[in-house]
Structure 1
Amino acid sequence: MTQRILITEFMDEAAVAQLARDFEVHYDPTLVDRPAELLERAAGVAALIVRNRTQVRGELLAALGAAKVIGRLGVGLDNIDVAAAEGRGLRVIPATGANALAVAEYVIATAFLLRRGAFLSSTAVAAGQWPRAALSDGGELGGRTLGLIGFGSIGQLSARLARGLGLKVIAHDPAISDSAELWAQAGVAPRALDALLGEADIVSLHLPLLPSTRNLIDAARLAQFNPGAILINTARGGVVDEAALAEALKAGRLGGAALDVFGEEPLPAGSPLADAPNLILTPHIAGVTRESNTRVSALIADAVAAALQEASNVAA
């Protein structure tokens, strides 16, 4: 009997077609929005492939009684109860590293936008306005200090791009010893968290959402930022206290912020971020480009197919 694979969110069509050559594939990128149908279709599948919106826990996890593997089209695993899944014998496979370049480029691009402050003036200029004086006070990136909180693959690639532009890079990662050779190899100086916040001109977050990191960037820590510093969050929304960030922006204590992730997604109406100044908001797309989608999808298609073949060989 052909093994079935269920894909609940968007995936590169070529990777879907690749899987369909050897498996019975049900691909519906909108299925995540129909939970009752999702539960029904999950019964009996050998593999589930998701992005970040499908919550693989509780009822859905229980419905995966025949499944052997969960493929995650991305790297964060907070939407999957990994311990419970592995306890049921499911292998959880993230697309580690495949979207790192997309996220790193987002970090640099938003840092440029927020430091310069002039690149969103097209509407005004096209309307005949000439805000030259107001927009002539923007800053350059060269010579500034980028502080990375989390120094995994995305943080390391962000550092490489930043150093190529003439930024000094410092980083905090409690999982990496200050004496590790990685720091010298990357040309990055390790820092304690409080020291980093007081030194960096741009702070970029690259860490998972855990009980220990929830609201890590709260009002007290925002008060430790350099005046005029920029915050970029492409990690997980729960790491930042959004109300405290909005207050810091409105008070002019920060130079700006770029958020790609939020505590609740989509961002709810009435969010304190709605009227905060110098703020770029994007809908969880920092790691999603045409190129990264191809890489992520191909990696997960290969890994899921290999895991299912391995499980079949063991069963035989």
Structure 2
Amino acid sequence: MTTILTAGDLFVRPTHFADAVRAAVADPSALKFTELTSSWPLEPFGPVENVEEASGAVDELIAALQGVEVAVTQMAPFSARVFEACPDLRFIGVCRGGPVNVDIDAATEAGVLVSNAPGRNAQAAAEFAVGLMLAALRHVPPADAELRAGTWRGDYYTWENAGRELGGETVGLVGLGSISRITARILQAFGAVVIAHDPYAEPEPGVELVDLDELLVRSGVVSLHARLTPETHHLINSERLHRMRPGALLVNTARGGLLDHRPLPDLLASGHLGGLALDVYDVEPPPEDWPLLSAPNVVLSPHLAGATRQTAERATEIIAEEVARFLGDAECRHTVNPGARAKARR
């Protein structure tokens, strides 16, 4: 009998994990499930001990992991202390693209394999990025708020205030991973000209790869899709923001740390930056006195790009297949630390 901890939250629930694993394995009767639920997303994720973007208490997780060989989660904090205290653990499935809530070095040293779920929210995030572009380009949020307040903004039909179309516009994608590639295909269907910057990417049909400075100069819309690493932290800084085409729209649905937020209020007020659409922030949630909350031409959403039911279902299905492969002694497809297998405790 293999004991599996389903460490879920209020988006990917423990029952989602358990149902997906039962459907994926050859003999569900050989499994025993226990569960733990964190309060994310009603409480924001954050750093927990030495891991990032995690939710829950380490001591509570350690208690739940006693006698557990397999754990599946989205946000549980698998810090270094967890691996020291849980000698039975052999496998962790993390249903997100980057398992930053797991100390991968500690897992590898302990012989615990870790798999992730790349692409689980790619469709949702791509659709949302394009939705933010449309909302910002066509003044949808302010027009809605003003109409509800009793103001009919007929001046949005004047030449000076009229919106812009995606068709015929040049859209620059910073990063060309799974989300960005879907975004590019959606934009091409609108008739946009799509260019991208990613020094590690393979070509995508219909997308011209360019250097970052060229992308900023040419694009009427710039959308961020890169991973946040030490190399990409504040990739779009003050100097690069000033290189953007005057009046361009900047969209960020990736990670807040890609963007230096400090110059943005002045760039919006001057009109150099024509609009800003954000789903992610350097601090989440942003403080009540954050200048961008009252800045002009800004569309904001609370980190919703991946928030679809299909994302949750897809994520658990990917991880359930990884669990099935692990339990069947097959090679997992999405292991992030294959070196752990040599040390795995059997």
TM more than 0.5: yes
> Residues 210, 134 of structure 1: CA spacing in aligned structure 2 closer, same or farther, 3 A cutoff?
same
In the TM superposition, 1:70-89 aligns within 5 A as 70-89=92-111
Counterpart pick for 1:148 among 163, 168, 173: 173
Partner of 2:139: 117
Report the residue type matching 1:106 in the other structure.
F
Q: Does 1:50 align with 2:59?
A: no
- Once the two structures are superposed, residues 213-265 of structure 1 have per-residue CA deviations (whole angstroms, 9 ceiling, x without a partner) of 11111111111111121222222221111223344334432122222222233
Q: 1:296 offset after TM fit, Å?
A: 1.4
The Cα shift of 1:55 comes to 4.0
How many residues in Structure 1 have an aligned counterpart in Structure 2?
A: 307
Aligned equivalent of 1:241: 260
Q: Output aligned runs, 1:121-270, within 5 Å.
A: 121-134=143-156, 136=158, 137-176=162-201, 182-183=203-204, 186-270=205-289
Q: Which residues of structure 1 form unaligned runs of 5+?
A: none
In 2: Cα distance, 1:43 partner to 1:203 partner: 48
Q: Is this contact kept in 2: 1:206–1:235, CA < 8 A?
A: yes
**Deviation at residue 293 of structure 1 after TM alignment:** 1.6
Q: Determine the C-alpha separation between the residues in 2 that align with 1:132 and 1:2.
A: 65
Q: Is the 8 A contact 1:6 1:48 kept in 2?
A: yes
Please report the RMSD computed on the Cα atoms of aligned residues, expressed in angstroms. 2.6
AA matched with 2:212: L
- Supply the AA of the counterpart residue of 1:30: S
Deviation at 1:315, TM superposition (A): 7.6
Q: TM-score if structure 1 supplies the norm length? A: 0.86
Partner SS, residue 255 of structure 1: strand
Alignment check: 8 A CA contact 1:5 1:24 kept: yes
Tell me the equivalent position of 1:28: 37
**CA separation of 1:118 and 1:35: change in aligned 2, threshold 3 A:** same
> What is the Cα deviation at residue 134 of structure 1?
3.4
Residues 78 and 209 in structure 1, CA contact (< 8 A), matched pair in contact too? no
TM-score, structure 2 normalization: 0.79
Please name the residue that 2:315 is paired with.
296
How many Å separate the matches in 1 of 2:136 and 2:12? 31
Helix, strand or coil at the partner of 2:326: helix
Other-structure match for 1:11: 12
Q: 1:77 to 1:248 in 2, by over 3 A?
A: farther
Structure 2 residue corresponding to 1:104, chosen from 113, 126, 129: 126
* Greater CA drift, 97-106 or 86-95: 86-95
CA contact (8 A) 1:46 1:308 kept: no
- Partner Cα separation in structure 1 for residue 291 and residue 146 of structure 2: 26
Q: Answer whether contact 1:141 1:166 (CA < 8 A) is retained.
A: yes
Change (3 A) 1:46 1:258: farther
Distance 1:48 1:247, change over 3 A: farther
Aligned twin of 1:306: 325
